[in-house]
Structure 1
């Protein structure tokens, strides 16, 4: 598989955009004309060729630019990457998972050579050639989790399992949708999901927790989640709210297509072999409204989803200030025709 990397930015001048190929492979999250919050977990099995589900770890045209943006965020705030001392085995589990998957599925980009504990990792897009001893953090320029997640798209949380719960005890989180690793680290599964509306009434997260506690090694699962953001900014963290929060008030009927983005997270979960921890990956994708409406089915469906969204969910997702402006703009692209079931373009 050949990947052509774009040079773009996710802050300041915002030069991010999707090629036509990236639009077609975008993980559009709505299979019908309405949205109801649900766990929607499925097996993380290989999907269609050239889709974000084709391989366990997805590398796309934005890879180099996203890694550059991550490095900027970490330089400004090192606390976006944290790990409690007992998570070191899980960190090495994550190194193995990501390196082996990236080298297997993108051999033209990455190479992993293993001779016992002596490993050599080559990352051609980022011009990295590193020999290290697996299990010896002193042989890497960064701690193991930080080292590999500086080279992999998406955020990663490592969840320790104990006391019949999952605890967020490590993570690399630089492109989150308005939540804070520094605040959530050390919390358990139910604590960090507490702000989600309707969760207590539906007991949805108790069921999700029970499912994940029984997650088996070699049987990863995935789900799609979504929100919206103004401008193609990856770092919409509480720590930087002063830099992006006011953008919500800048949406006008004239700039909706360019500024308003659907933000979709492909969330996958693996049981790790040595630590028995779970890695929770959060791979984000952005598409603005001008790009989205090039797929007529998506334009019609997203208009209807956004129009019918429950107010408490709209408030939780931070859409209230520009939701109606976006609905009105999308209405021009909804001819009232029925949409066929499923996610993919017609």
Structure 2
């Protein structure tokens, strides 16, 4: 599958010439939990196919999250209608709502908060209208728990496995996350999030191929491409994968909505920006082994570096 390679809109994640794990969250300038990109229709078709055929892998929830799910429905619909009035609208008459997705030509009437309004849970319904994956973290007993989520485009993790886990347990596999105290610092940061003051961050990785659905359950389908990367095919085959992650405190339930919008850019498009080419070459050259291992880059890092070095030396950007 080919995604639009637009350098101007690509959320390039780097600032310096080195990279380490950190809490790189920043306050949002525009408090918008979801976005609509030119890939909207194609990504919605893919999401709905995954949700229809792999529901257990892509959607999970615990019973006590329904109220929080309705908060997410309200937040997402309000943001869509306000930011994209030509594509989405909502009419509210008390608890009777009508949501209109003009892009997909779908109109849904429902009773807000009604138990039997949808044939599926509220979070499952609204997830079929946005490109983002939607994760609900609930706060209780001085901790955060992953209690519900729709995850069609994971970066090598499993929603079904992580359901109900505490924040620190979910992130335990990240090397150095606990040892360097990041787990506690980031947890405390999240616990202090305030309603009306959302934050965002960017997370990145490299991947062989251009697949959005890189779940643990499908590793046998996409993981093997890592062994096929060469200097000659790296430009087309390897993509930098960036997740724009947004954090919104839900005022009524005190949960946290965590939205993930995944973007892919091929290396052959990335190197057309000379500054990015030099910077990414420096970052990848210096990246410590424990990070390359965790991000799944080790098998083909050298081939990618050969490709980037050749572009730097030749001065060619195509």
Give the alignment partner of residue 28 of structure 1, picking from 12, 17, 21: 12
Residues 173-252 of structure 1 mapped to structure 2, 5 A cutoff: 173-252=151-230
Q: CA deviation at 1:231?
A: 1.3
Q: 2:270 aligns to what?
A: 292
Q: 2:249 aligns to what?
A: 271
- For the pair 1:41 / 2:25, whether they are aligned, the reply is yes
Q: 2:66 aligns to what?
A: 88
For the aligned residue pairs, the C-alpha RMSD in angstroms reads 1.5
Q: What's the CA shift string for 1:208-256, capped at 9, x where partnerless?
A: 1111111110001111111111111011001111111111111122211
Is the contact between residue 98 and residue 109 of structure 2 (CA under 8 Å) also seen in structure 1?
yes
Q: 1:259, 1:55 → 2: CA distance?
A: 32
Q: 1:150, 1:235 → 2: CA distance?
A: 15
Q: 2:232, 2:101 → 1: CA distance?
A: 42
- For the pair 1:63 / 2:49, whether they are aligned, the reply is no
Is the contact between residue 158 and residue 277 of structure 1 (CA under 8 Å) also seen in structure 2?
yes
Q: TM-score, normalised by structure 1?
A: 0.88
Q: Secondary structure at the match of 1:200?
A: coil
Residues 141-156 of structure 1 mapped to structure 2, 5 A cutoff: 141-156=119-134
User: Post-superposition, which runs of at least 4 consecutive aligned residues in structure 1 deviate over 6 A?
Assistant: none
Q: 2:110, 2:72 → 1: CA distance?
A: 15
Q: 1:250, 1:305 → 2: CA distance?
A: 23
- For the pair 1:73 / 2:73, whether they are aligned, the reply is no
Q: 1:134, 1:105 → 2: CA distance?
A: 21
Q: TM-score, normalised by structure 2?
A: 0.96
Q: 1:329, 1:335 → 2: CA distance?
A: 10
Q: CA deviation at 1:55?
A: 4.3
Point out where structure 2 has 5 or more consecutive residues left out of the alignment.
Answer: none
Is the contact between residue 269 and residue 281 of structure 1 (CA under 8 Å) also seen in structure 2?
yes
Q: CA deviation at 1:32?
A: 1.1
Aligned residues between the structures? 314
Give the alignment partner of residue 138 of structure 1, picking from 116, 124, 130: 116
Q: Secondary structure at the match of 2:116?
A: helix
Q: 1:127 aligns to what?
A: 105
Give the alignment partner of residue 259 of structure 1, picking from 220, 237, 258: 237
Is the contact between residue 296 and residue 333 of structure 1 (CA under 8 Å) also seen in structure 2?
no
Is the contact between residue 33 and residue 259 of structure 2 (CA under 8 Å) also seen in structure 1?
no
Q: 2:145 aligns to what?
A: 167
Is the contact between residue 236 and residue 244 of structure 1 (CA under 8 Å) also seen in structure 2?
yes
Q: Secondary structure at the match of 2:246?
A: strand
Q: CA deviation at 1:336?
A: 11
